[in-house]
Amino acid sequence: MSKDINEDIKWAKINEDVLRSMENPRKGYWLAIAGCLFLLAFAVVAEIYQYNVGMGPANLNWPHMWDLYIATFIFWIGMSHSGTLLSAILHIIHADWRKPIYRFAEAMTTFTLMTAGLFPIIHIGRLWNMYWVLPYFSDRGIWPNFRSPLVWDAFAISTYLTSSALFLYMGSIPDLAICRDSAKGWRKKLYTVLSLGWRGDDRQWRHFRKAYLLMACFLIPLAVSVHSIVSSDFAVSIMPGWHVTTFPPYFVAGALYSGCAAIITLFIMLRYFFRFEDYMTIPILEKTCKLTFAIAMVWTYLNIIEFSSVWYGHDPIAKELLLAKFTGPYAPYFWAMIFLGSVLPFTLAFEKLRRNIPAMMVVSLLLNLGMWLERWMIVTPTLSLAYSPAAHDVMWPSWVQWFIVLGSFGWFGLLFLIFVKIIPSVSMYEVKEMIFHRRHMAKKDIAEVMHRRATDKKPASETPGLEGA
Amino acid sequence: MSNKVNRRDFLKIMGWGGVGATLAGCDMPTTVTLEEGKEQVTSYLVPEEYVIPGVGVYYASTCLQCPAGCGLHGRVREGRILKLEGNPESPVNQGKLCQMGQAGVQTHYNPDRLTRPMARKGSGLTPVSWDEALSMIQSKTSGLAGERFAWFTDTVSGHQAVLMDAYRESIGSSRHYVHEIINNSVARQVNQDMLGDPQPHLRFDKARVVLSFGADFLGTWQSPVHNAVEYATFREAPRGVLVQVEPKMTLTGANADLWVAVRPGTEGVFALAVANALSAKDPARLDGLPDKARQLIRRYDIKKASRITGASGDHIVKVSGWLAERSPSLVIAGASAEGHEHGYDTVAATMLLNIILGNIGKTIESSGTFPFPQLAARTGGTKDLIDFAKAVDDKELDVVFFRGANPVFTAPETLGLKEKLNKVGFKVAFSMFEDETTRMADLVLPMYSPLEDWGTHVAAYQPGPSVIAIQQPLMQPLYDQTRGFGDVMLSLLKMQKAAGYSDYPDYYAYLRDAFSAMPGSLKNGASDDEFWASVMQKGVLAVDTGEGRLSANVIDFDLPENPAKEGAYHLVPSARLGMWDGRHANIPWLQEAPDQISKVVWDSWAEIHPNTARKLGVKTGDAIKITSASGTIEANVYVYKGIHPDAIAVPMGQGHEAYGRYAKGRGVNPLKILALNTEGKTGELAHHGTEVQVSRTSVRDAMVQFGGSETQMGRKIIATVTADVYERTEGEA
Amino acid sequence: MFNTLQLPSGHITHCGARFVNRFLTPSLFLLVFSALLVLSAGAAHAESVVPNAVPPVGTHDGDDVPQPIEFPHNTHVDVNKINCMYCHTYARRSPVAGIPPTSKCMGCHSVIATDKPRIKKLTEYWENKEPPPWRKVHDVPDYVHFTHEKHLKRFVFDNEGMEVENVSEVCAFCHGDVKNMTVAHKVKPLNMGFCRRCHEANEGPFDCWKCHK
Amino acid sequence: MSLSNILEDWSRYRKDREDGGFHDYEHMWGMAIDLNKCIGCNACSVACYAENNLPVVGREKFSKGQAMHWMRIERYWDEPDLGDDRISEFNQHGANFIPMNCQQCNAATCEPVCPVAATYHTPDGLNAQVYNRCIGSRYCSNNCPYRLRFFNFYSYYEDAWPAPLEMQLNPDLSVRDKGVMEKCTFCVQRIRSVKDKAKMDNRPVADGEAMPACAQTCPTSAIVFGDLLKHYDPDTNAPETKVTKMWRAHQVELGKPRQNKQNPELRGYRVFEGLNTDPCVMFLERVREV
């Protein structure tokens, strides 16, 4: 098996390569921005229309009170989880291959949350009163209903967004200092402010690491709880197909799944566009793919649990709904979801395919489509075919919903494109750490030194410095 | 008129702002004005002591949405009529109201009301003043040979009818055509011939078994609300059994314990077969019947009847069993029985069953003699329509006054009424809306709505104690240029210099006087003013009709041996509670209220049996073409098993070419393609006797229907128990 | 590895605690306390006039509303001692207080002060058979269903020790000191907080559907 | 609804449910609908339109399922009547009609999920919807097993009442703007005005005095409305209300997910009782001769 990363790569080259990605954009970049803006424009038009006219043109109806908006909301929330997985979970379990790719994954977390957070606002009938969900002191003495999962959502998402944004920012401070040191003009000023006076001295590093670890530990339960809370939007309800006990782990697994798939997509795109072949290497891609495959299997397992618990359960209506999903009007989408979510990931089990970048690009996109379908299949069939037979109805979303859903991809893309030009999308200092680490791991003595440091509390200055940063 | 304006001052509309009337609810910031001084408040000039702003007051009146004459209580607040409820004092509806009655406010507030008189100048109608309009009438009618004038109306009664008669007589005409497409003229004739009372009182509440041949008594037959009130008692323990025999399931059929589909036109055979089965068990039942009737009954044994009607023999046995066991029973016949060329005989056969079962005098009671024949209802059906078309075609009429009826809409195309009407020199429409007939008129007189006008009404079907129902204005007229019918009639009578009418300034004064002139027995010693006030308060005036006796003549009637034409599709123009004959198509509430059976809204549809659907290769929602000898209509189908495979049912009421924004251009009118067959003995239109061809079209899945699943999917939303369980648990209660 | 799972063993800075203890808590306490003081002082102030009632707190600077006739409330209420409910007669039996019918004005003013210009204007309206187009001063949003009837019952008719002559003091809870105004103008906010505080102080109902239907 | 109110409400609810009583409720409005009498005529539905300012949405919006009918008549055919017509050629037993309005559940599933507490339980046992607090998350409707909550997908009022139709609007309750959830209120404006009137006269509300529009107009009196609490309160001398009598006669009790009927043949039942929503509307089973 080849190495994760070329250990002989020069640190200066790392700086050079990464900083190159942040230089003045080329034509392709502007085209991509234009494309995203174009998509976003659709959403803006649709949203203005919807704001003025009401939720009717979106083809929301009785009983389809929710539809694509909520499905897409869960989709984006789910995607956000992988950033945390890579940066926090893999961080504390010392999987250092994450280092070249965690930065953009973390950025993805923040931006998907920023996208997801828009959907509850968009889908609300009177969005100008959105803030009533938040508890604030008011003359009228009214508070939100703390029993409602939607209120929990509001807390969970805003906490998660704040924390992940902080985590992203904090983790990139040493890199921002590098940017500051090599930037000119307005950029220099910008990075001077952003890097918060980072000098890279010993004390700063010590505090930095503590804070970073603390944040990582904080983020992990947060990430798990956020999607559990989102799942409780459904799980605490009484409706067949929603009232499922396994929903929290199911949602979290689905979230990690779609997140990993999205990481593969972005991985490949960044690798291609910014020539990050040295850092985003095939072995790392393979590892990510294996991780995705594992999660896919967990997801499949939970899916089977969900179906079988309905099947063995007492609730005939839930059973009918499940059968309707298998055979009813939503069957094509349902089976597409099963195929894309549970069958297609087996391609990840083959090394040959894993190493084939175009194939992985296609597969990752399809996996994401599958996960989006999954969310839709959770939300909509239950609305269509629940308890009251008189309210059984199938309604397909209208252009308004589709435009807004498409626009959300434009919005996410736009944020991400801005990000890659402002914050290094590969963590320079951690790649250096990784290389340094790998290079010396071979030599037992260094490993011993490190071991001693951890246990004997020898001063950190004994270890070879990282003054190169 | 000034007198009346003062009288009505209490009904004046108060300022909107004063009490926040239109509440454009929930704060899009633009819809709430909170700035001080933006809204106006208007006070009364002189207060009426019992009117309190912000508090609703109830006034009694009468519902004119159909001819049943239910009593109303109207809730009035700040001079606006807000809601109609049933008047508990009225023996007709006993405080209840159907959907059409509830929607009376939307007739009144309809945005498509006519607001000013219009006269035809050239091809179009142009506004004229009332004075011009009345003088136009005067000039057209002066010197008119008497019989060249005619009234063409729907059911009318009370003092309006008196004034109409007076006017007609002042010209010297005897022509008054009364047209109702939803009628029971044939049954009235049979009742008259066999019982000696055209409209006896039916006691559903006393009956233990009701066998109904196409009489949709819960929906559109006679007095639906009253029937429903009695039906509730009928269903209480000991619970009565309802059997409905008809080709297309009506609302009543949907509530039947046993719904029997028969081939169109074979209801009489079913009735005779039931009589046959009854006599087989107990031959004494036929004692005293004339030979002809016995022969008829013997002609249909169960097997034969089952073959002809298409109903299972078991059903005939079961029905006769119930009728034999439980007494008294009630057999009635409605539209689908009457509406054939042999309709009279079919109805007579059902009445024969009543006689055999001894129901006369038990569940069919005499309605007595109404003491004011001049106020009684002028009823009619479709014979008058046919006669009218003929008279028009023969150029016998120069001046026709239309009121209520809309013959251009309801007449079959083959009658050619629309073209023939051009032969009438001067057509006057007393109308609230620009309907199809009003559009053809030379002079359009905009009327007050029923909630703005005075009047008295005597329903044709008087259940229980007979009453004169009082109509009083619940609101100040919405439009200055509209007038009350009675007021216009008085003006015209004054112009005619008819004796006895010159003293009345308006219709209100006339009515006051008419009530003062009522016999003292009705007043119970009250002064005229007290009597008037009490009548106004109660909304009805009960009159004693005395005891009457019904005869039980078995008349001579005959039924074709096999009245059905097998293998042909029959068009059933079904009446539905809501649209009625189409007069309510302009009421948005009723357009949006799903049909009780098919749950279709805002449209027409065709009901077909799954057999037929399979033959045509269509499913619910697809459109089919229905072609008769006189035209074609296209409608989406509703496929279900509540219809005989030989029948295609299309509801009446839609397919207006005019009649305002809610009615116009919506659905199809099945009446248009009816063949011009007439009932043999009465000359009424045989509206169920049209044969049609059907074919599929390319339109698919285009029906707007309420509701998802057609079944409960085994979920216990509605649970059903059998009657013996009910008798066990609640029999004593 | 550089990182280990050891958690920071440092201590919270004293500076933060000092800030909280010495500045934040006392100032918050002071703020709340003084607010309570102000509120209760306001409440205690009006206690004497209407027994068993805590008047609502709040002020509002309303616009002057031009009326067709500049009706002098002060002359009628303060000088001539006419009870509010004499003219706003519906208040005790209806949700709305109502504007007196023109005939009521004319009941007195066909003989009293007929030469005054305002009365002449009124007479003109009366003779034209049209009521003066008054403008609404006190208004609540359309989704608020306030009822005068119940409030008068609570504060006037069911209120032991309350003199009906003092009804203007009760009206003043929400309408301000109308008896010293000429044309009425809005001096109370009449918003939900205003209502809520009064309902809290007087133990009024807290069911949303009481007012919002 | 303040924070303390919510907590109080909730703890009271929990406390009350332990012994199945509703001691500190003023009233507990409930219904009994006799399906033996209901003829499915739609009068209740139109009466509801008239009383509650329900907008007419028109054909197009109706076809998209955006209609508002707080009181709707559901019509079902018997299962065999939709299948093969060799088994059943005709709908022999007619249609199954059921009027469905908000069931005013005591353990309403819509209430806990509203993020802004726009829907809550009133002290007279009603499931309230406060329009001006609603932000339109529509969660409540999704969580209603009966699907009896309706959403203003448009500003229907803009064209539902062209002049002068708007003069018919009932000023006692709001006209709803877009983005607001609404549902049957048991005609709370009528109930409350009756209650207020009784209070002004210092007397209890009489049975049959408060009537929602649907019960008032029902031609067969299939809908019976009244105070269910009279059954639970032995202190008042007021006679038991008609609706309480019916509930008792059919051995249906509030607060139970499954009724332990001594006579299992009694007709009373509540729709989806097993979901433990504890509705205040009891139906009496439909009766057919065979």
Pairing outcome for strands B149-153 and B399-403: parallel
Task: Select the more confidently predicted residue: B36 or A258.
Answer: A258
> Taking CB atoms and an 8 Å limit, are A66 and D142 in contact across chains?
yes
Domain spanning B185-365, CATH class? alpha beta
Are the C-beta atoms of residues B75 and B82 closer than 8 Å to each other? Answer: yes
**Nearest-angstrom CA–CA distance, A61 and B35:** 36
The dihedral over CA atoms of C69, C73, C74, C76, expressed in degrees to the nearest 10, equals 100
pLDDT 10s digits, B508-565: 999 999 999 988 888 888 888 999 999 999 999 999 888 888 998 888 888 888 888 7
> Taking CB atoms and an 8 Å limit, are B259 and D134 in contact across chains?
no
Task: Select the more confidently predicted residue: B141 or D233.
Answer: B141
% of chain B at pLDDT higher than 70: 94
Q: SS3 of D284, please?
A: strand
Task: Provide the pLDDT for residue A375.
Answer: 92
A 373-402: CB under 8 A from D: 383, 386-391, 393, 395
**Nearest-angstrom CA–CA distance, A159 and B511:** 77
The residue ranges of every structural domain in chain B are: 118-180+373-448+484-516, 185-365, 569-696
Residues from chain D contacting residue B68 (CB–CB below 8 Å)? none
Residues from chain B contacting residue D164 (CB–CB below 8 Å)? 109, 111, 478
**Nearest-angstrom CA–CA distance, A23 and A184:** 11
Residues from chain B contacting residue C139 (CB–CB below 8 Å)? 33-34, 36, 38-39
Beta bridge partners of residue B636, listed in sequence order: B605, B623
> Taking CB atoms and an 8 Å limit, are D139 and A150 in contact across chains?
yes
> Taking CB atoms and an 8 Å limit, are A317 and B715 in contact across chains?
yes
Which is it for the CA torsion B291, B295, B298, B300, positive or negative? negative
Minimal CA separation from B236 to chain D, in Å = 8
What's the first-to-final CA gap in chain D, in angstroms?
52
Question: Sorting pLDDT into bands at 50, 70 and 90, what band is B30?
Answer: very low
**Nearest-angstrom CA–CA distance, C207 and D124:** 10
- Beta-carbon neighbour count of residue B544 at 10 Å? 13
- Three-state secondary structure readout of A205-262: HHHHHHHHHHHHHHHHHHHHHHHHHHHHHHHCCCCCCCCCCCHHHHHHHHHHHHHHHH
Q: Give the nearest chain D residue to A58 (CA atoms).
A: D153
Neighbours of C, requiring at least 3 CB pairs below 8 Å, are A, B, D
Question: Sorting pLDDT into bands at 50, 70 and 90, what band is D9?
Answer: low
Task: Provide the pLDDT for residue D235.
Answer: 65
- Beta-carbon neighbour count of residue A358 at 10 Å? 8
Question: Sorting pLDDT into bands at 50, 70 and 90, what band is B45?
Answer: confident
- Of B26, B707, B714, nearest to A390 by CB-CB distance is B707
Are the C-beta atoms of residues B257 and B241 closer than 8 Å to each other? Answer: yes
If you search the block for the tokens 């006037």, which residue do you land on?
C156
Q: SS3 of D150, please?
A: strand
Residue partners of A34: CB distance under 8 A and separation at least 6: none
Task: Provide the pLDDT for residue A292.
Answer: 92
Which tokens sit at B87?
């008047």
Task: Provide the pLDDT for residue A434.
Answer: 85
The third-level CATH classification (topology) of the domain covering B569-696 is Barwin-like endoglucanases (2.40.40)
Which tokens sit at B327?
């007494």
**Nearest-angstrom CA–CA distance, D196 and B95:** 24
Interface probe, candidates B241, B717, B724, B725, chain D, greatest D C-beta count within 10 A: B717
Q: Is C161 on the interface with D (CB under 8 A)?
A: no
Task: Provide the pLDDT for residue A224.
Answer: 87
> Taking CB atoms and an 8 Å limit, are A392 and B708 in contact across chains?
yes
For every residue of C32-46, DSSP letters joined together read HHHHHHHHHHHHHHH
> Taking CB atoms and an 8 Å limit, are D150 and A62 in contact across chains?
yes
Pairing outcome for strands D119-121 and B40-41: unpaired
pLDDT 10s digits, A46-103: 999 999 999 999 999 988 999 899 999 999 999 988 888 778 888 888 888 888 888 8
> Taking CB atoms and an 8 Å limit, are A125 and D151 in contact across chains?
yes
If you search the block for the tokens 């089976």, which residue do you land on?
A335
Give the helix, strand, coil percentages of chain A, each rounded to 5. Answer: 75, 0, 25
Strand order from edge to edge, sheet including B329-333: B258-261, B241-246, B209-213, B329-333
Q: Is B619 on the interface with D (CB under 8 A)?
A: no
The type of residue at C33 is F
- Of C8, C192, C200, nearest to A210 by CB-CB distance is C8
Q: Is the per-residue pLDDT at B315 higher than 90?
A: yes
Task: Provide the pLDDT for residue B180.
Answer: 93
Q: Is the per-residue pLDDT at D4 higher than 70?
A: no
**Nearest-angstrom CA–CA distance, D268 and B729:** 11
The residue ranges of every structural domain in chain C are: 57-99+135-213, 102-133
Residue range B624-641: mean pLDDT, rounded: 93
Interface probe, candidates A69, A147, A321, A398, chain D, greatest D C-beta count within 10 A: A147
Q: Is D145 on the interface with A (CB under 8 A)?
A: yes
Residue range B326-345: mean pLDDT, rounded: 92
Task: Select the more confidently predicted residue: A9 or D224.
Answer: D224
- Three-state secondary structure readout of B259-298: EEECCCCCHHHHHHHHHHHHHHHCHHHHCCCCHHHHHHHH
Averaged pLDDT, groups of 10, chain C, 213 residues long: 33 42 62 63 55 84 85 88 88 84 87 88 88 84 86 87 83 88 87 88 87 85
Which tokens sit at B188?
């009235």
Which tokens sit at B563?
């009245």
Residue range B254-258: mean pLDDT, rounded: 94
Q: For B201, phi and psi rounded to 5 degrees? A: -85, 125
Are the C-beta atoms of residues B183 and B335 closer than 8 Å to each other? Answer: no
Which tokens sit at A22?
């942040």
**Stated pTM of the model:** 0.89
Task: Provide the pLDDT for residue D157.
Answer: 86
- Of A138, A140, A450, nearest to C1 by CB-CB distance is A450
Looking at domain A11-462, which CATH architecture does it have? Up-down Bundle (1.20)
Minimal CA separation from D43 to chain C, in Å = 23
**Nearest-angstrom CA–CA distance, B330 and D269:** 33
- Three-state secondary structure readout of A246-303: CHHHHHHHHHHHHHHHHHHHHHHHHHHHCCCCCCCCHHHHHHHHHHHHHHHHHHHHHH
Question: Sorting pLDDT into bands at 50, 70 and 90, what band is A42?
Answer: very high
Q: Give the nearest chain D residue to C205 (CA atoms).
A: D123
Pick left, alpha or beta for residue B653 (phi over 0 → left; psi -120 to 50 → alpha; otherwise beta): left
CB burial of residue A153 (10 Å; 0-12, 13-18, 19+): buried
Task: Provide the pLDDT for residue A447.
Answer: 55
pLDDT 10s digits, B469-497: 999 998 888 898 999 999 999 999 998 88
Distances (CA, A) of B44 to A399, B10, B48, C99, C130: 53, 9, 9, 8, 9
Residues from chain A contacting residue B708 (CB–CB below 8 Å)? 389-393
Nearest partner of B108 among B405, B448, B446, judged by Cα: B448
Q: Is C12 on the interface with A (CB under 8 A)?
A: no
The contacts found for A56-59 with CB under 8 angstroms, 24 or more apart, are: A56/D61, A56/D64, A56/D66, A56/D153, A56/D154, A56/D178, A57/A398, A57/A400, A58/A397, A58/A398, A58/A400, A58/A401, A58/A404, A59/A395, A59/A396, A59/A397, A59/A398, A59/A400, A59/A401, A59/D64
A 200-219: CB under 8 A from C: 209-210, 212-214, 217
Q: Is B708 on the interface with A (CB under 8 A)?
A: yes
Nearest partner of D149 among D115, D175, D111, D122, judged by Cα: D111
Residue range B645-656: mean pLDDT, rounded: 93
**Nearest-angstrom CA–CA distance, D12 and D5:** 10
Interface probe, candidates D33, D35, D37, D42, chain B, greatest B C-beta count within 10 A: D42
B 683-722: CB under 8 A from D: 704, 706-707, 709-712, 714-722
**Nearest-angstrom CA–CA distance, A57 and A42:** 15
Q: Which residues of B touch C (CB under 8 A)?
A: 17-20, 22-27, 32-47, 52-55
Q: Which residues of D204-241 are buried (b: 16+ CB within 10 A; e: fewer)?
A: bbebeebbbbbbbbbbbbbbbbbbbbbbbeeeeeeeeb
Minimal CA separation from A384 to chain C, in Å = 30
Lowest mean pLDDT among A294-298, A450-454, B465-469, D230-234: A450-454
pLDDT 10s digits, B202-236: 999 999 999 999 999 999 998 999 999 999 999 99
Residue range B109-135: mean pLDDT, rounded: 92
B247: cis peptide before it, omega within 30°? Answer: no
> Taking CB atoms and an 8 Å limit, are C206 and D5 in contact across chains?
yes
> Taking CB atoms and an 8 Å limit, are C143 and D131 in contact across chains?
yes
pLDDT 10s digits, A126-164: 888 889 999 888 888 888 988 899 999 999 999 999 999
> Taking CB atoms and an 8 Å limit, are D115 and A66 in contact across chains?
no
The residue ranges of every structural domain in chain A are: 11-462
Q: Is C16 on the interface with A (CB under 8 A)?
A: no
Residues from chain C contacting residue A212 (CB–CB below 8 Å)? 3
Are the C-beta atoms of residues A121 and A158 closer than 8 Å to each other? Answer: no
- Of A53, A59, A133, nearest to D115 by CB-CB distance is A133
**Nearest-angstrom CA–CA distance, B326 and A205:** 100
Nearest partner of D134 among A376, A65, A76, judged by Cα: A65
Q: Give the nearest chain B residue to A384 (CA atoms).
A: B708
A 130-189: CB under 8 A from C: 138-141
The dihedral over CA atoms of D2, D6, D12, D18, expressed in degrees to the nearest 10, equals 180
Residue partners of A415: CB distance under 8 A and separation at least 6: A111, A114, A115
**Nearest-angstrom CA–CA distance, A43 and C175:** 48
- Of A126, A128, A387, nearest to B715 by CB-CB distance is A387
CATH code: domain D3-284 is: 3.30.70.20
The contacts found for A213-218 with CB under 8 angstroms, 24 or more apart, are: A213/A91, A213/A92, A213/C3, A213/C5, A213/C7, A214/C7, A214/C8, A215/A88, A215/A163, A215/A166, A215/A167, A215/A170, A216/A87, A216/A88, A216/A91, A216/A92, A216/A167, A217/A88, A217/A92, A217/C7, A218/A163
> Taking CB atoms and an 8 Å limit, are D146 and A150 in contact across chains?
no
Residue range B84-89: mean pLDDT, rounded: 93
Mean pLDDT of chain B: 88
Minimal CA separation from D68 to chain A, in Å = 9
Minimal CA separation from D11 to chain C, in Å = 17
Q: Is C141 on the interface with D (CB under 8 A)?
A: yes
Residue partners of A13: CB distance under 8 A and separation at least 6: A278
Task: Provide the pLDDT for residue B11.
Answer: 43
Task: Provide the pLDDT for residue D185.
Answer: 93
Minimal CA separation from C42 to chain D, in Å = 24
Question: Sorting pLDDT into bands at 50, 70 and 90, what band is D231?
Answer: low
Question: Sorting pLDDT into bands at 50, 70 and 90, what band is A461?
Answer: very low
Q: Is the per-residue pLDDT at B465 higher than 50?
A: yes
Residues from chain D contacting residue B105 (CB–CB below 8 Å)? 50, 168
Minimal CA separation from D77 to chain C, in Å = 37
Mean pLDDT of chain C: 78
The third-level CATH classification (topology) of the domain covering B118-180+373-448+484-516 is Rossmann fold (3.40.50)
Q: Is C180 on the interface with A (CB under 8 A)?
A: no
Are the C-beta atoms of residues D154 and D66 closer than 8 Å to each other? Answer: yes
The type of residue at B389 is A
